[in-house]
Structure 1
């Protein structure tokens, strides 16, 4: 049976049929905007050669579109109460594997290996907003073989990930994501696009994962420590922010670091590019 899950009426009927109760703690908001679905699929440029990982399937609205366009879809859904619904709404598709697990506790690389997936994948998802950043960083830090990610995110979080230096949204999250990816806003998503309507606005963000990191550094832990320290006191100069941050050193040491890196000590961390942060990390190891 075919289900038009982008219809609020049909979505409501399915929810009622199964007596499904949405769990606020899981951030469940089901997408019902067909135009947004089209934009997500178009932005991900999904073809019959692609393997797609979806995180958080809901009742299968986006999943259906993915199955219609991709070679294989792997859907990870934490809520076991949704599995019977998915077994019905996705019954017409033979290219779907549903995994009922918590994505943050799942070895994605192992799951792909078990399914004999040995090609780059695409991640397309309407992510639970309360764990957006941990999920994205897990995919990136676990070195999953990903080509790109097209994700529905809370507007503020997407803007932070996409932000440029010297803007109010630019921070350590911007650097963390852009270290791995090129970012681009795909479209805005009105609250009326969901059942139930969320309390926040949304954006679709595309992350193209680079073959090589944006900057070449030998000590990632040190790099990100300097980044976090630089944003730890946004209204302070970078000299004051980094001085005595964790074990980076006192003001004299940081002053010397800034001098050899060609960075004015009166600048604020939010004005530095990722390349300047990389230069700081490289020079710190020479002190």
Structure 2
């Protein structure tokens, strides 16, 4: 099996007349050691069906195929989606049959769009949509048990942050509803073409064995959004619009056993669930 280096990445981009766009968040990995590091950190086994979002020219795809039962690659860009099976056939014919390419926006993917139900997501995600994509896929694909995503370093910190941390916020709580998350490494700028302006980070997550609660997720997420809409406000002030009045907030929080003078960043996902259940 061969992996794509800087020469191959440029050659493929030239052949397809691709100039990486900021709109699609295209930064192609051209360092074989980086994709090996990602695959190792993903803790895959040979039975995993891997969902890769935004495979681009195929750098990570080629590293994933020997380590999984199948790889379902979701690509929004038609020329890239069309070229990927050919690239894999040329560089790793032995594993080419394991690849399925789906031409689709990952934010609109549902179970019925996929030829196989994935157990893991491994992806280099565009910075501007990383969190919404992960939350959407965890919501839509119940078979998805774990994941390893490469995102902007700051986003990685937020996704894995715990209560009480200054950067703990909406992404931290919403991801915690589905899964246990942790940072799994850092990635420098120079492994990409073109090099982005910021470093990247790896986030690993494992879905909870059973749901944390049967409470309505939409209601829970509304409370989370309201609690963090103005970070400096106490829960009493932040949730006033959502509950209808400060008195109503006091009543609800008292029943949930939570101090109205606390701020959203001090509450765990379990605390937010208690408010939603009340």
Fold in common (TM above 0.5): yes
CA separation of 1:84/1:216 partners in 2, compared to 1, >3 Å: closer, same or farther?
closer
Q: Which moved more, 1:217-226 or 1:228-237?
A: 217-226
Q: Give the TM-score taking structure 2 as reference length.
A: 0.91
* CA displacement, residues 22-76 of structure 1 (integer Å, 9 cap, x when unaligned): 2221111011233321221112222322211111111101001111211111111
- The alignment partner of 1:4 has SS state of coil
Alignment pair present for 1:281 and 2:248: no
Alignment pair present for 1:160 and 2:158: yes
Alignment pair present for 1:26 and 2:24: yes
Counterpart position of 2:247:
252
Instruction: Give the counterpart of 2:264 among 244, 264, 269.
Output: 269
Counterpart position of 1:36:
34
The Cα shift of 1:217 comes to 4.0
Instruction: Give the counterpart of 1:139 among 137, 140, 151.
Output: 137
Q: Which whole-Å CA distance do the structure 2 matches of 1:192 and 1:60 have between them?
A: 18
Counterpart position of 1:228:
225
Alignment pair present for 1:4 and 2:16: no
- The alignment partner of 1:278 has SS state of helix
- Considering only aligned residues, what root-mean-square deviation do their CA atoms show, in Å? 1.8
Q: Which whole-Å CA distance do the structure 2 matches of 1:84 and 1:220 have between them?
A: 37
CA contact (8 A) 1:217 1:223 kept: no
Q: Which whole-Å CA distance do the structure 2 matches of 1:219 and 1:77 have between them?
A: 31
Question: Where in structure 2 are there 5+ consecutive unaligned residues?
Answer: none
Counterpart position of 1:110:
112
CA contact (8 A) 1:182 1:207 kept: yes
Instruction: Give the counterpart of 1:101 among 104, 115, 125.
Output: 104
CA contact (8 A) 2:220 2:272 kept: yes
CA contact (8 A) 1:163 1:170 kept: yes
CA contact (8 A) 1:67 1:96 kept: yes
* CA displacement, residues 183-202 of structure 1 (integer Å, 9 cap, x when unaligned): 01111010111000012221
If you compute each CA radius of gyration, which structure gives the higher value, 1 or 2?
1
Question: Where in structure 1 are there 5+ consecutive unaligned residues?
Answer: none
- The alignment partner of 1:199 has SS state of coil
Alignment pair present for 1:170 and 2:168: yes
Q: What does 1:41-56 align with in structure 2 at a 5 Å threshold?
A: 41-56=39-54
The Cα shift of 1:222 comes to 2.5
